[in-house]
Amino acid sequence: MRTTTLPSGQSVPVLGQGTWYMGDDTRRRADEIAALRLGLDLGMTLVDTAEMYGNGASERLVGEAIAGRRDEVFLVTKVLPSNASRAGTIAACENSLRRLGTDRIDLYLLHWRGRVPFAETIGAFEALQSAGKIRHWGVSNMDVRDMKELLASPGGDAVATNQVLYNITRRGIEFDLLPQSQQRGLPLMAYSPIEQGRLAHYPEVQDIAERHGATPAQVALAWVLRQQGVIAIPKASSPAHVRDNHAALELKLTDEDLAELDNAFPPPDGPEPLEMI
């Protein structure tokens, strides 16, 4: 498994596992747990969830899947901006720990920006770190202006990552946010790297997949993973889907492939608003 490094020096896999919409349907629970456990077996040990996902259902699913294997996992979850006051963040973290069945979170993210000042949320993160409840903290869905303000806040330079929407069809961050993050040595986490499966339906992606004997999803993932300091966290709710995602690590896109994708999905030529799903 290839890895990248957080500012603290912590190594994490570049291909992890997302869990948005997992845990919502009890009929799929066994397959979803099997998928997460297979991912761990294959080295996809970064598992991302959030208190928002299914109102805690995803965290409970993840907790069940990693039971007995906690030390293998780099566990990521998120606090809602509505809970991001000092007291609210600490309480939300305790609730997430309970649902996850663990005593610590490896990376705790502010899910998106709300009304609470960054300094107050950072203070809560620092208190949780001092108590051993979280190891690192970061943010999600923050644009260039947000990151500038965050980094200027007391303690803000300890941010470990920014999780954002990024895939072949959502390239706005390449103009400013991605290069600035790379320059700082701050990895970005790409959520929805396959655009929730929709990229599989684009003929341009299908053609490249056929040339390589791969799937369109693998092409989309390989495209994201080629970037320095980018972590992809696709969701896979079945073991077969996990194996398909993992195989993207071996897919090397050629210059011709990349040129075709640039032609079909042009990179930005100026700043663009940060996209979110």
Catalogue the active-site residues: 53
Rounded to 10 degrees, what is the CA torsion of 126, 130, 136, 137? -20
Is residue 271 within 8 A of residue 176, CB to CB? The reply is yes
For residue 10, CA distances in Å to 142, 187, 242 come to 22, 11, 24
Is residue 264 within 8 A of residue 167, CB to CB? The reply is no
Q: Is 277 exposed, middle or buried (0-12, 13-18, 19+ CB in 10 A)?
A: exposed
Report the C-alpha gap between 128 and 137 in whole angstroms.
Answer: 10
Beta pairing, strands 11-13 & 3-5 = antiparallel
